[in-house]
Amino acid sequence: STDPQAPYLTTLAIGDLVFHQGAPSDSGVPVRHYFHEDVFDQSVITMERTGQMIDAFEAMFGPYPFENYGTVVVDADLGFALETQTLSVFGADIVDSFASREDSVAHELAHQWFGNHVSLGQWSDIWLNEGFATYGEYLWLEASEPDFDIDAAVRADYESFGFLLDTPPGAPSPTDLFNSSVSVRGAFTLHALRITIGDDAFFRLLATYVEEYGGANAVTSDFISLAEDISGQDLEDFFQAWLFEAEIPPLPR
């Protein structure tokens, strides 16, 4: 790799992998994949819009931060995916002939900005990785589906299982670091912030955060400080409620 890389973002995959050249992004980012031969066709379908995702996220987060991108799909049901830097790893359980798990593809790609390029200063701030990548799933649908109403979608999910997210995402237990509150309530936090400060300030915040902390580490207080600077608002109570209190706050209108 030509860029700084956190050690956990390095993975070795061994198997009967077949190279597939994906369509590059319009901005020119090369896309190359390695799919296990047993799930090759399903992988091609699932990863087909990777280049388009890069373009969509570049418009929101800033230029793609690395020299290329792609995915590795192995012949095992991993039950998870990992944002390995420039070559995300997926199990066979993520790919199918309908691209039904394209949300996971968007999630791991969003991590290239949030988690890989801007890495954590401490593991207790893992919501900065997982909340941002989970919100990236919603953002991809907003960018790619003309009829998708992101506010309605977030509110529907909030009503369905928000009451279960009673663990503060900004202070996860070290024995349950990747709990659902970190990712899902973290994403809800970002949507609530977007409503609170407005789209213009919100997307300037995301791009500025990546620009200022890319290639280095950040912690939650860095993000909060930047959010207050860009929005001109006092957001102490907002972030205290969403990130550090047990009871999830109501979504603002």
Residues designated as active site: 108
* Amino acid occupying residue 203: F
Structure-token pair, residue 203: 């997307």
Which residues lie closer than 8 Å to 47 by C-beta, 6 or more apart? 20, 22, 33, 71, 73, 95, 105
Contacts of residues 165-169 at CB distance under 8 Å and 24 or more positions apart, as own/partner, are: 165/248, 166/246, 166/247, 166/248, 167/246, 168/243, 168/244, 168/245, 168/246, 169/127, 169/131, 169/242, 169/243
* CA 21 to chain CA mean position, Å: 23
Half-sphere exposure of 202 (CA within 13 A, CB side): 14
CA-to-CA distance for 243 and 12, rounded, in angstroms?
34
3 state DSSP class of 31: strand
* CA 239 to chain CA mean position, Å: 20
